[in-house]
Structure formats: C-alpha cells, structure tokens
Amino acid sequence: MQYSFSVTAKILATCTLFTAVLAPNAQAQVSDRTLKAAASVPPDHPVVIGLKKFGEIVNKSSGGKVKVRVYPNAQLGNDLQAQSALQGGTLDFFLGATTTLGGIVKDFGVYDFPFLFNKPEEADAVLDGSFGKKLEAKLPEKGLVSLGYWENGYRNVTNSKHPIVKWEDLGGLKIRTMQSSVLLDVFNNFNANAVPLAFSEIYSALETRAVDAQENPNALIEASKFDDVQKYISLTRHVYNPFILLISKKTWDKMSADEKKLISAAAEEAKLFERRLNRETDNKALAELKKRGMQVNDFSDAERARMAERTKPIIAKHSAQIGDTVVSELQAEIAKVRGAK
C-alpha cells in the first residue's frame, strides 16, 4: 500500500510538537528494554503502521532505551492466542479488535452491535469518554491494561458468488465473521451461514471455497489482498470496528512511573495518528480494489435501515446477556454525543 508524501508529511507534522514534549529529562527512571508488540493484520495496514509509529515515539522519548519490536500478520499467534500471551506475560503489547475481549469481559460485546455509530467521530467521543474508560477499567483484573482505542473502521461484505444490494442477498452464503456471538447471530438472522474464524485463517478459507464471503473494512480487505479470491464488495458498513492497544499487566507493573508516562503518551499520539491515517486510507483502498477488478456495490441508506430493523431482536437478545445497564449507558452516551453536535 502506497501513501503520498504530502499525506504522510501532514500527519507527521501534527505529531512533532507533542513528541518533543515527551523527551525525558536527565532524572527520568527509564531502563533499557526491548518489548514485543503483535498484531494480526498485514504490515502495510494503517494499524501496523500506527503500531510502528508508537514504537518510534517510545524509542525517541526514552532516549533510545526502550525499543518496541512489531510482529504483524499473526506471527506470534491469532488474536485469542495473543490475548492469552499478554495475560501470561510472554507478550508485551497486542493491538486487535475489542471483540476478543468479550470472552473475558462480556461488556466489550456491545462494540459488536450493528449500526451503533453513525460516523467515526461519534465512536471517538464515546470510546475516549467515560463509557469507554469504564470498560477499560475492568481489564487490569484480567491481566491486561488498555492504552486506548484505535480504529479498524466500518466493516463491509465481500463474496465470490454474486452482488449484494439488500440483506436478502446474503441468504445461503457461507460467511466468515469475527469470533463474536453477536455477529454470528446477526448474519445467521440474515439467512447466511456464519462461520467464526480467526483473521489469519480467512484468506485460505476463501481460496479453498470453505467459505464464500467475509466482512472487514476496506483498508484491511485491500491490504490482505482478498480481491484475489473475492469478486464483489458491498458497502454495508454494518459494524464500526474499534481496535484496542493492550499491554500485559505483568509488563506494566514492572515499569517505573516515568516509563508508564512515556508509554501512555506515545500510545495517545500514535492512536490519533492511526485514526487519521485509517480514515484517509479507506476511500483510497476502495478505489484500489475497484481498479484491481472488484465489483463495488453501494448500499443505500434505505437498505441499511432495513438491515438495522432486522437486527433489533439480536440486539435485544445480547443486551440481556451482556447487561441492560451497560447497553443503556452506551446508548445514553451516544445520544449525549449526538446532542452536543
């Protein structure tokens, strides 16, 4: 994936002043260490570019003492394996979907609800606000510490069979979804046959026709070269998918106050960098997919409304399982954000 010099320079320029503030003073307690950071997505995806940016900031602000080695493409295991490694202390950082956390803190399942956020800025406000922080505060007791929410983006459906322009077109398709009980129910409710697979298994499953379809944001579809094994992409935008940067609590607890401060500051700067880059990449990735021969099928607002209506029973079911209070708090926070605009 190629990015123009002007775009990259503009993003880096916004970060320069903040990075300068992080430079440690002579009294800072910072030890020499090399930390491992993993992600399941390809190396040229904005998430990994952002993770490498995080490593650069950490290295600079620590005076070269702290190095972050990035392992993309699930080199150190899939999302669930990486999460377990974090809890065990054999991995330092992992950047992946909040979906995986639903297995240890059920509240995180709310982020898989379809048609939750109308635009990315709403997600930013909710995730960075009191609701997002409340969920993050539940992670340390599970052996994890959050360093902030990043972005994967709005998920769209691709398939190898036929165009999808209404939810009925999903009927009968074998579609890979995240390992999320919410999304499994959503697509089964659209009369598809939902198959939960780790991200690292998608390409092979599509290539061998074990599944017909999958759903991911444009940038990830393009970076993963799913167009090699998929013909159609439909702009359903059915779920906004946040990522989250996690550090092992065992790693965190070994750090000095100065180290924690510089890690947190670097994560905040890299988060803003990645969100902006991901949003700039989305339309470019779609144009590239179209150039490579994918047939792009737009999805009207009316059809999205029909899909949303169809998913209401699924949301009600999982609201009861996750906890109506949590869901109500999220809905109230979204309403508050929209009212402030």
Q: CB of 12 within 8 A of CB of 5?
A: no
Domain residue limits, the chain: 5-340
Q: What is the pTM of this model?
A: 0.91
Tokens of 148: 């902030």
Instruction: Please list the rounded mean pLDDT of every run of 10 residues in the chain (341 residues).
Output: 43 45 59 97 97 98 97 96 97 97 96 97 98 98 98 98 97 96 97 96 97 98 97 97 98 97 98 98 96 96 96 97 96 94 64
Place of tokens 């550090």: 247
> Whose CA is closest to 233, among 289, 192, 184?
289
Sequence-distant (≥ 6) Cβ neighbours of residue 305 within 8 angstroms: none
* DSSP 3-state of 23: coil
What are the strands, taking DSSP E only, across the chain? 33-39, 66-71, 93-97, 144-159, 174-177, 193-196, 213-216, 232-248, 295-297
The whole-number pLDDT of residue 27 equals 55
The whole-number pLDDT of residue 10 equals 47
Q: Helices 5-21 and 257-291, interaxial angle, to 10°?
A: 170
Query: What DSSP designation does 90 have?
Result: S
Say how many Å lie between the first and final Cα of the chain, rounded.
35
Q: How far apart are CA 158 and CA 212, in angstroms?
A: 9
Pairing of strands 33-39, 213-216: unpaired
| Residue 192 zone, left/alpha/beta (φ > 0; ψ -120 to 50; rest) | beta
Q: What CATH number has the domain spanning 5-340?
A: 3.40.190.170
Q: CB of 128 within 8 A of CB of 151?
A: no
The whole-number pLDDT of residue 28 equals 75
